Amino acid sequence: MKRALLLFGLSILALAAAAQAQYTPWLYWTFLPKAQMDEIAGEASGETAWRTVATINAYNRDRSREEFTGTFFETQYVFDQLKRYGLDNAQIVTYPGGEAWRAIKGELWEIKPIRQRLASYNDMVPMLAAGSSSTQAKGDLVWVGRGTPAEILAAKVEGKVVVTEGNVSAVHSEACLRQGALGVIAISQGRPDSGPLVIPWSGVAARRRPPIPGMAAAEASDQAPAPKPKFGFNLPLREGDLLKKRLQSGEMISVEVNIESETLPYDMENIVCLIPGTEPDSGEIIFSAHLFEGIAKQGANDNISGSAAILEVARTLQTLIADGRLPRPKRSIRFIWGPEFSGIGRWVQENQAIMEKTLCNINMDMVGEWLTKCQATMCLMRTTYGNPHYINDVVENYYRYVGEGNRERIQNRSTAYPVPRRVVSPFGADEPFPYSIETHYGASDHEVFNDWGVGVPGVMMIAWPDPWYHLSGDLADKSDSTQLKRTAAIGAAAAYTVASADDGMAMRIASEIASNGTRRLGHQFMVGLEELNSAKPDSLAESFKSARGFVEAALLNERETLASLSELATDRPKVDAHIARMKKTVDAVGAAHLAALQAHLETVAAKLGTQPVVPVLSDLEKRAAKIVPRPTPKVRVNGYRGYTKLIDQVPKEERAKFPSSQFGAGDFRGNTAELHCLINGAHSILDIKKMLDAQSERKTDLQQIINYIQVLRLAGLVEIKEAK
């Protein structure tokens, strides 16, 4: 029986290997029929999207005072374009945003020995660090190198303006707020590929770092209320180096500073619009892009590009539907632009009823860069196992179509069209589309949707790296209309696929997930093999457990991804029957991988001169396998991150009974958000551990997972069902 299973497994493996083979130059496909794909790829205009980027961020703008009382420039532009495109339901939705800093003037002049201007807000907005206070002052310059506390102490900076190649905000905190300097001039170090003429978007704030041991005066002053920030200027490397050399040669230089700034109340502005489907209750797809990086801080790629691309998705679909070139889909497609996390998060929180019927989210952040100039790859960041969804494979389908279709292959270099499925903007780059389908990464607005309190699976489209990221050089000249056209076409095609999907499409997507899932399972199988390959005799048992866990976790995810398609079904039994058959396919692949891991274990054990281990669950694992936590309605009731209040309300002494330092509010880059989402009433705690470990570099502690789930139970967010 075992042997038969192994043989069966190996034959499935051979199939899996075939599925993993490289794409051939004669096979191109999309979920949408070719005629519809051609309409979308033809209509999507990279030039239109590029004009949006150039209009909003050809250069770094000085924001006018009127924008604070009226509407921000970029909000008005996007809103006006939507109206022009016939998206009449577009709305600007505002929420109070608190106060924002605004500069009126920021001049830095050398007055001795030369009279010359060193920096000006008028020349380049980020030359004046955001948060700089109104200042009229004269002072001598003093060089402090990288600006470590010791360098600053040695330089005796009190009453002087420090010049540093360190970070303006850190040096400001130390030199100005603790050691009495007047202000900071920072020489930008840029990034390796960004050149000598960029400066960072940076700020100075009224905060201090912990005192340096042995500095009694500073310690005393740390008890006083936080002082007002002073000022900071940023110089590009080329100009800054001249100043550095003069100071290092011992020259005495005096400057005069003249800054006027204010803080103004502002509103967080979101723009929302909808392309209504024919069946408003059959669900929605939502596109998101942050239109504001900050109120002062701007960026063409981060993220006017994503804003421009989803605007072009809206125009493309609206035009094609209005012209009758695409039938109106049954599901609606919604769009939201706003301040990153804060604005979009607030809108999502206020619109929980819409979220309940939203199927998935496509977030675009940094999608416009000229890929070859930035040496970048266009990435699709998939959802985690906690948000399994077919949207991953739907978007992947169109990445592959554009990626495989836009490069010349050696097989057909002289016999066929060199680039067979050209998606190129008339004034954009004519280059390949290097793409990559990757595991989850957060840090943008899809995380608002993926949040436990919202539960809308969201993917991110993003090109990376970007040498101008968060620098003054992140301007429209780094954007490429071809890249924007391809991005808009992929987004529009993916959303239209979901919005228009009938039962036949749902089943077709299920089959493709089973195919792609074979590849993903194969990857986890390989990760498991490496775990065994690196095992020592005494760690072989644990390694084998982990290796099996990787495959088992991936298999659970593939099954749940397939199950997500049920929401598209009209004839539910028919679609579910097909899904069940595709689940059997991935089950068989997973079983084959587990059998192969067993075989590999035997070879590793022989090499290590030990016996193959029989996996045995520890008592804790046995217990964890029986506990199935289920979320309560309180998780969703307060929408985006609303549940955090309930966690905070758990009394400290209660919480202390369940130590779980790996999880909780302080775990910014860790697994807590994913742990939340994996609690679904079906996963046991042992499943949850496997699914966390399969996705993370860091192994989680099973007892801590159990403890943290107890904390969630105390918060009223989770019920625990213990199986027999």
Question: Which phi and psi (to 5°) does residue 333 adopt?
Answer: -125, 125
On the CB side of 573, CA atoms within 13 Å amount to 0
346-353 CB contacts, 8 Å cutoff, 24+ apart: 346/95, 346/268, 346/270, 346/640, 347/93, 347/95, 347/270, 347/272, 348/448, 348/449, 348/454, 348/639, 348/640, 349/638, 349/639, 349/640, 349/641, 349/642, 350/639, 352/454, 352/636, 352/639
Nearer to Zn ion, 365 or 693 (CB): 365
Site residues for Zn ion, window 229-258 (CB under 5 A)?
A: none
Token pair belonging to 549: 């866990």
| Strands 183-187 and 161-164, sheet pairing | parallel
Mark the segment that binds Zn ion (CB under 5 A) among 96-104, 232-240, 298-306, 553-561.
298-306
To the nearest whole angstrom, how small is the minimum distance from the Cβ of residue 340 to Zn ion? 6
Site residues for Zn ion, window 435-464 (CB under 5 A)?
A: none
Nearer to Zn ion, 174 or 302 (CB): 302
CB proximity list for 622: less than 8 A, separation 6 or greater: none
Q: Which of 560, 524, 487 is nearest to 309 (CA)?
A: 487
Mark the segment that binds Zn ion (CB under 5 A) among 81-89, 299-307, 374-382, 497-505.
299-307
To the nearest whole angstrom, how small is the minimum distance from the Cβ of residue 306 to Zn ion? 7
What does the alpha-carbon distance between residue 314 and residue 334 come to, in Å, rounded to a whole number?
A: 9
Total site size for Zn ion, rule CB under 5 A: 3
CB proximity list for 488: less than 8 A, separation 6 or greater: 44, 45, 46, 49, 309, 310, 312, 313, 316
Question: Which phi and psi (to 5°) does residue 158 adopt?
Answer: -55, 130
To the nearest whole angstrom, how small is the minimum distance from the Cβ of residue 594 to Zn ion? 40
Nearer to Zn ion, 293 or 396 (CB): 293
Examine residue 302 and tell whether it contacts Zn ion (CB under 5 A): yes
Nearer to Zn ion, 43 or 365 (CB): 365
Examine residue 560 and tell whether it contacts Zn ion (CB under 5 A): no
Site residues for Zn ion, window 618-657 (CB under 5 A)?
A: none
Nearer to Zn ion, 56 or 540 (CB): 56
Token pair belonging to 311: 């605007």
Nearer to Zn ion, 107 or 340 (CB): 340
Token pair belonging to 218: 């500073």
To the nearest whole angstrom, how small is the minimum distance from the Cβ of residue 469 to Zn ion? 9
To the nearest whole angstrom, how small is the minimum distance from the Cβ of residue 474 to Zn ion? 10
Nearer to Zn ion, 363 or 672 (CB): 363
To the nearest whole angstrom, how small is the minimum distance from the Cβ of residue 165 to Zn ion? 27
Residues 324-362 as b or e (16 or more Cβ within 10 Å = b) = eebebbbbbbbbbbbbbbbbbbbbbbebbebbeebbbbb
Residue type, 341: F
To the nearest whole angstrom, how small is the minimum distance from the Cβ of residue 646 to Zn ion? 30
Nearer to Zn ion, 180 or 294 (CB): 294
Nearer to Zn ion, 30 or 303 (CB): 303
Q: Which of 389, 364, 378 is nearest to 450 (CA)?
A: 389
Examine residue 269 and tell whether it contacts Zn ion (CB under 5 A): no
Mark the segment that binds Zn ion (CB under 5 A) among 226-234, 263-271, 296-304, 541-549.
296-304
To the nearest whole angstrom, how small is the minimum distance from the Cβ of residue 462 to Zn ion? 8
Nearer to Zn ion, 56 or 257 (CB): 56
Residue 324 backbone zone (phi > 0: left; psi -120 to 50: alpha; other: beta): left
Nearer to Zn ion, 442 or 664 (CB): 442
Find out whether 211 and 103 touch, Cβ atoms under 8 Å: no
Site residues for Zn ion, window 341-370 (CB under 5 A)?
A: 365
Nearer to Zn ion, 365 or 451 (CB): 365
| Binds Zn ion (CB under 5 A): choice among 60, 132, 164, 303 | 303
Q: Which of 452, 453, 456, 457 is nearest to 677 (CA)?
A: 452
Mark the segment that binds Zn ion (CB under 5 A) among 154-162, 300-308, 452-460, 563-571.
300-308
To the nearest whole angstrom, how small is the minimum distance from the Cβ of residue 365 to Zn ion? 4
To the nearest whole angstrom, how small is the minimum distance from the Cβ of residue 302 to Zn ion? 4
Find out whether 268 and 94 touch, Cβ atoms under 8 Å: yes
Mark the segment that binds Zn ion (CB under 5 A) among 303-311, 316-324, 487-495, 565-573.
303-311
Residue type, 722: E
Interior angle at CA 298, CA 460 and CA 241, nearest 5:
115
Nearer to Zn ion, 445 or 512 (CB): 445
To the nearest whole angstrom, how small is the minimum distance from the Cβ of residue 350 to Zn ion? 22
Token pair belonging to 652: 């400290």
Mark the segment that binds Zn ion (CB under 5 A) among 70-78, 212-220, 295-303, 407-415.
295-303
| Helix segments in 534-571, DSSP class H | 540-563
To the nearest whole angstrom, how small is the minimum distance from the Cβ of residue 376 to Zn ion? 14
* SS3 state at 344: helix
Nearer to Zn ion, 40 or 304 (CB): 304
To the nearest whole angstrom, how small is the minimum distance from the Cβ of residue 364 to Zn ion? 10
Nearer to Zn ion, 365 or 404 (CB): 365
To the nearest whole angstrom, how small is the minimum distance from the Cβ of residue 310 to Zn ion? 13
| Strands 284-292 and 332-339, sheet pairing | parallel
Token pair belonging to 163: 């010049």
DSSP 537: G
Mark the segment that binds Zn ion (CB under 5 A) among 63-71, 297-305, 502-510, 573-581.
297-305
Mark the segment that binds Zn ion (CB under 5 A) among 301-309, 452-460, 477-485, 579-587.
301-309
Q: Which of 381, 377, 368 is nearest to 443 (CA)?
A: 381
Site residues for Zn ion, window 156-185 (CB under 5 A)?
A: none
Q: Which of 343, 335, 238, 322 is nearest to 284 (CA)?
A: 335
Site residues for Zn ion, window 364-423 (CB under 5 A)?
A: 365
Longest dimension (CA), the chain: 91
Give the residues lining the site for Zn ion (CB under 5 A): 302-303, 365
